[in-house]
Structure 1
Amino acid sequence: MKETVRLYQKDVYQAECQSKVLDVFTENDQDFAYIVLDQTVFFPEGGGQPSDTGYIDDNFVDYVFEKDNVIYHQVSSLKDPKGLIGKTVTAKIDWDKRFLNMQRHCGEHILSAVFYELYGGVNRGFHMGLDYMTVDINFEKNENYKMMTDEMMVEAELEANKLVWANLPVFVRYFDSREEAEKMPMRKELALDEDIILVGIGDESYEAGCVACCGTHPRTTGEVGLIKLYKWEKYKRMARITFDAGLNALLYSQDEAKLIKTICNHFATDPLSVMSKINAHEQKFKDVKQELYELKKFFISERAEEIVKDLSQSVIVREYPMLKAEDLLSIGKLLPKDIDNLFVLISPTENTIILISSGKHDCGKIVKDNAHVWNGKGGGRADNARAMFSSRQDMDCFVDYLKKAFG
């Protein structure tokens, strides 16, 4: 099939064109069709960059890819696919998405150039997602740097944005062979032998800014607008940087500012003082938590002493609305181990029962053999077990059974 003319390579700002339909086909009875045009403004997925979306006449194009120099436009199934062949159609991209991808991809080039120039870091992986981008930086060109630091992130973000503010030209060069392309200074070795596209920042002698790329880029770095670094993490002996550029970076910064404002309003302070307020709040929380722990410890000890004061009943039932099952187990640990009573400790808020015994009454077996009769479940050991119920009524029935069976 005839090679598709790529108008986006001639003018990345062209958003619309008239094209002739060369072919339309589907595969394996799928719900979409592929349209092949003689020329297109649509950028196909490649180089880590998503494809353009848009319309061919009234047909929404949700995905575009290239195979054997032919570009395929994916649309929803057509009523008369073959009837479209030979007709002239209007191909129009979603310009806002195109420009955002131009900002973001160029932002990645700028950031990678900075990591290379400052720290000898080489970009060994790139991903452009919907909400963020990532680059995997390997510090292989400078032995003084082994891994990323927070300070390096701050410096790199500043230097990257300085390149944006400088409004440097972004150039694109096309080469038929590796020999021709390798005459250009590049920060990364070529992986292609022919049909090579080099994208560079600033002067052609700026090695850090030049690399092979098939994506779309603005004419100047100033159009990127903003580069914002979010975080870094170790990844396969490299540093994975999460960041964004252009409109996405601005929207993230706005959301971040709103969040900071909300937090400041909550603590009635300003951004520079908010961490001291948060630290003070956390310390107060820790102090209160410790006080609660001590009070609960005392309360649990009191309850255990209260239980052993009256052991006249074989089955001793106690209910504690303020305590959870784990607290009831703590009470059980304080009870004497040589008493033959069966202790039934109830947490009504959790519909849970804790059975405690010296072992004379096998608590785990009691729960396993009987709790299911009242829709309960649980288990445990001979000296303690847990039974959980879906309703208070079922739990009460189980307690009544225990009183009758072991009382």
Structure 2
Amino acid sequence: MKDRLYYFDPYIKTFSAKVVKQGQDPTGDHFVVLSETAFYPTGGGQPHDIGKINQHDVINVEEVDGEVRHYTANPIPEDTNEITGEINWQRRFDHMQQHAGQHILSAAFVELYGFETVSFHLGKDYLTIDLDVDDIKEEILVQVESLANQIILENRPIETRWISKEEVTQYPLRKKPTVDENIRLVIIPEFDYNGCGGTHPNSTGEVQAIKILNWERQRKKIRVSFVCGNRVIHQLHQKNLVLTKLSQLLNAPESEMENALSRVLETKKELEKSLEEAQDNIMSHKVQVLIEQPMMFNEQLIIKDVLNDYSLQQLQKMARMVISRAKSANVFLVSKTMNKIQFVFSRGTASNLNMKQLAAELLQVIDGKGGGSESQAQGGGETNLSAEEFLSLTLEKLKG
């Protein structure tokens, strides 16, 4: 573990080291192993560092079989013996803020309510912890967040300490270490004692702030989403932009936006209802016209129509309306949008046509999908046939 420089000083931005090994993994990606490194490999819920090795971009860092592999976008020259490494400090410090913030928030849940953290993930935009509870109240989150930010405001030191397995019982650890040797503790005195190999700042004040964003149930656990440090400022900036735009669109100040949006949604519902009623009236008129113009084909009463840009649901509704008024009819409705045909076939109680079988034959022609019953079937697919040609083909199938 002595090759991990970040264990002892996470503020290292550049370092020198010797090349121990170069190679390729099974996927062909190039990596280099160094005598010592300040790059953090993915682990413990924290993502890897990125940066440069001799001006070659380091795009991934992983620990494989006990060695830290630095994956580079391009292989470094084979005769390279010594390198200069450079950590992407903006990403590193962000991870330090987030990881320390997670320790503080998890400890606050334990301090106030005894809720244990069972997993942790540091994502690109926010973090999550899973709590070993199946329900939580908003006031609990408010109180926990308040305590966490109080610990940050007190600017307590964040210490690291190496201990042996025998010394573990001397500390009130939040959870049992996962290793038996080289145990590294991250300590916030009189608040949190935790085994951890991640990167952290020197004091809680550097975390700046913690803000809980949301929570949800996940497999009988509660998943809490939150951000720390500069991400809090970024979240505030993004949310303020959204609120400003919404305020302009709704022509209402921020304090009145909820009411203004409620009015807009209510108006939308009323308009949708009026539109649906108008569409039903138009459809009812179309149905009446169709019923008055039936045709006899192969000793069957046929009502057919080609419609423009009708959805499958609209075709089904129209077919039901026709059958309710003409119980002895067979209904064939076809609509086409771009190259896609959609159809509904339906029969009245006086007909014995097998609509499911007929639809299956036509779906083969258009390489489509569909289904239904003997009394009503529907489907659609891609075809160069026009809606009129498809309807003619349907009637031809009736002859057989």
* C-alpha deviation, 1:99, in angstroms: 0.9
- Residues 28 and 394 from structure 1, CA distance in 2 versus in 1: closer, same or farther, beyond 3 angstroms? closer
Tell me which residue corresponds to 2:275.
292
* C-alpha deviation, 1:64, in angstroms: 3.2
Root-mean-square deviation (Å) = 3.2
Tell me which residue corresponds to 1:162.
150
- Residues 7 and 323 from structure 1, CA distance in 2 versus in 1: closer, same or farther, beyond 3 angstroms? closer
TM-score (norm 2): 0.83
Tell me which residue corresponds to 1:317.
304
* C-alpha deviation, 1:103, in angstroms: 0.7
Tell me which residue corresponds to 2:222.
239
Report the Cα distance in structure 2 between the residues aligned to 1:405 and 1:104, rounded to whole angstroms: 67
- Given that residues 115 and 131 in structure 2 are in contact (C-alpha distance below 8 angstroms), is that contact kept between their aligned partners in structure 1? yes
Letter aligned with residue 47 of structure 1:
G
Letter aligned with residue 19 of structure 2:
V
- Residues 337 and 301 from structure 1, CA distance in 2 versus in 1: closer, same or farther, beyond 3 angstroms? closer
Letter aligned with residue 50 of structure 1:
P
- In the TM superposition, 1:75-90 aligns within 5 A as 75-76=72-73, 78=75, 80-81=77-78, 83-84=79-80, 87-90=81-84
* C-alpha deviation, 1:371, in angstroms: 6.3
Percent sequence identity over aligned pairs: 26
Matched residue count: 390
Q: More displaced, 100-109 or 319-328?
A: 319-328
Counterpart check, 1:394 vs 2:381 = no
Tell me which residue corresponds to 1:281.
264
- Residues 147 and 343 from structure 1, CA distance in 2 versus in 1: closer, same or farther, beyond 3 angstroms? closer
- Given that residues 52 and 98 in structure 1 are in contact (C-alpha distance below 8 angstroms), is that contact kept between their aligned partners in structure 2? yes
- Residues 44 and 278 from structure 1, CA distance in 2 versus in 1: closer, same or farther, beyond 3 angstroms? same
Report the Cα distance in structure 1 between the residues aligned to 2:306 and 2:27, rounded to whole angstroms: 66
Q: In structure 1, the residue corresponding to 2:244 is in which secondary structure?
A: helix
Q: More displaced, 97-106 or 157-166?
A: 157-166
* C-alpha deviation, 1:150, in angstroms: 2.5
Tell me which residue corresponds to 1:142.
none
- Given that residues 4 and 69 in structure 1 are in contact (C-alpha distance below 8 angstroms), is that contact kept between their aligned partners in structure 2? no
* C-alpha deviation, 1:148, in angstroms: 1.7
TM-score (norm 1): 0.82
Report the Cα distance in structure 2 between the residues aligned to 1:213 and 1:375, rounded to whole angstroms: 58
Q: Deviations over 1:45-88 (max 9, x none)?
A: 3322223222222333333344677544333564643x33xx33
Q: In structure 1, the residue corresponding to 2:156 is in which secondary structure?
A: coil
Q: More displaced, 266-275 or 227-236?
A: 227-236
- Residues 379 and 58 from structure 1, CA distance in 2 versus in 1: closer, same or farther, beyond 3 angstroms? closer
Report the Cα distance in structure 2 between the residues aligned to 1:6 and 1:402, rounded to whole angstroms: 74
Letter aligned with residue 130 of structure 2:
D
Report the Cα distance in structure 2 between the residues aligned to 1:23 and 1:378, rounded to whole angstroms: 59
Q: In structure 2, the residue corresponding to 1:61 is in which secondary structure?
A: strand
Report the Cα distance in structure 2 between the residues aligned to 1:70 and 1:98, rounded to whole angstroms: 21
Correspondence for 1:98 among 92, 96, 107: 92
Letter aligned with residue 391 of structure 2:
V
Report the Cα distance in structure 2 between the residues aligned to 1:68 and 1:356, rounded to whole angstroms: 66
Tell me which residue corresponds to 2:40.
43
* C-alpha deviation, 1:377, in angstroms: 6.5
Q: More displaced, 155-164 or 381-390?
A: 381-390
Unaligned runs of 5+ in 2: none
Q: More displaced, 101-110 or 294-303?
A: 294-303
Correspondence for 1:178 among 140, 165, 176: 165
- Given that residues 374 and 397 in structure 1 are in contact (C-alpha distance below 8 angstroms), is that contact kept between their aligned partners in structure 2? no
Tell me which residue corresponds to 2:107.
113
Tell me which residue corresponds to 1:344.
332
Q: More displaced, 378-387 or 126-135?
A: 378-387
Tell me which residue corresponds to 1:267.
250
Tell me which residue corresponds to 1:149.
137
